[in-house]
Amino acid sequence: MALNPDPKPGRWILPLVVLGMVAFTYFFVRALPTGTTDTPSDTSLVGSATTLPGDTGDPGEPGTSTTLPQTATDPAVQAYLDGAQAVLTSLQDLQREMAAVNGGFDADPRTVEYRDAVTRLEALGEQADELVVAIDALTPPESLTTIHETVRTSVTTAAAAAGETLAGLQSTDDGTQRRNAVQAFDTAVADLQTAVGNARSAAGLDAPTDTTSPPGTSTPDTTDGG
């Protein structure tokens, strides 16, 4: 009996099918009659402009298109906005930690003990101070200097509130000082989010993806002290 020189003849089937399809498509397209090609709708990007269908430069002529110029963001402005957004994101992370610590400490039964709360709030305060250094390292462009003052005030206020939260925890009062400080921290984070959004708007940019702050961390006065 003669031996099959190719032990796997089936492996050639798929390539031959593909080759046949390509050849068929080639000859089929060539056989199509030539004709007038409809002019496509003008919805493409040309250069640095955006074309919008159904509008014209002349309000009285519907159905044509208007070209809107697009401007690139200045690198210095973009660098500042990126830095401010990074600080905001970090501060929102601290806000979640603040909520976890204070919520656990005020829970009944308590889920975060005093010593653990002190340790975590100390670390939180140090990180908040580092964010003040980070915001001071940014160089705001001239067009955003006024908004930068609000940005910096929000960050420094949050850092101060973080320190006050720890002081309230270590005090002998009924917890009012700590809870007021937590509310001040939340307000500062919200103010920073607004300021960063205003900075982006002033630069002609849309707001970034929603980074909604967590709900307020204040809790009812259900514990004694701290």
How many of the other CB atoms lie within 10 Å of CB of 129? 16
Sorted by where each begins, the domain ranges of the chain are 75-202
Q: Which among 221, 124, 113, 117 has a CA at the least distance from the CA of 169?
A: 117
Reported confidence tier of residue 24, pLDDT bands at 50, 70, 90: low
Q: How far apart are CA 1 and CA 4, in angstroms?
A: 9
For residue 155, count CB atoms less than 10 angstroms from its CB and return exposed for 0-12, middle for 13-18, buried for 19 or more: buried
Amino acid symbol at 172: T
Cα–Cα separations (whole angstroms), residue 40 to 55, 65, 217, 225: 16, 13, 56, 73
Q: Which fold has domain 75-202?
A: Four Helix Bundle (Hemerythrin (Met), subunit A) (1.20.120)
Q: Write down the pLDDT at residue 70.
A: 46
| pLDDT tens by residue, 128-165 | 999 999 999 999 999 999 999 999 999 999 999 999 99
| pLDDT tens by residue, 62-106 | 544 444 444 567 999 999 999 999 999 999 999 999 999 999 999
Q: How far apart are CA 198 and CA 146, in angstroms?
A: 11
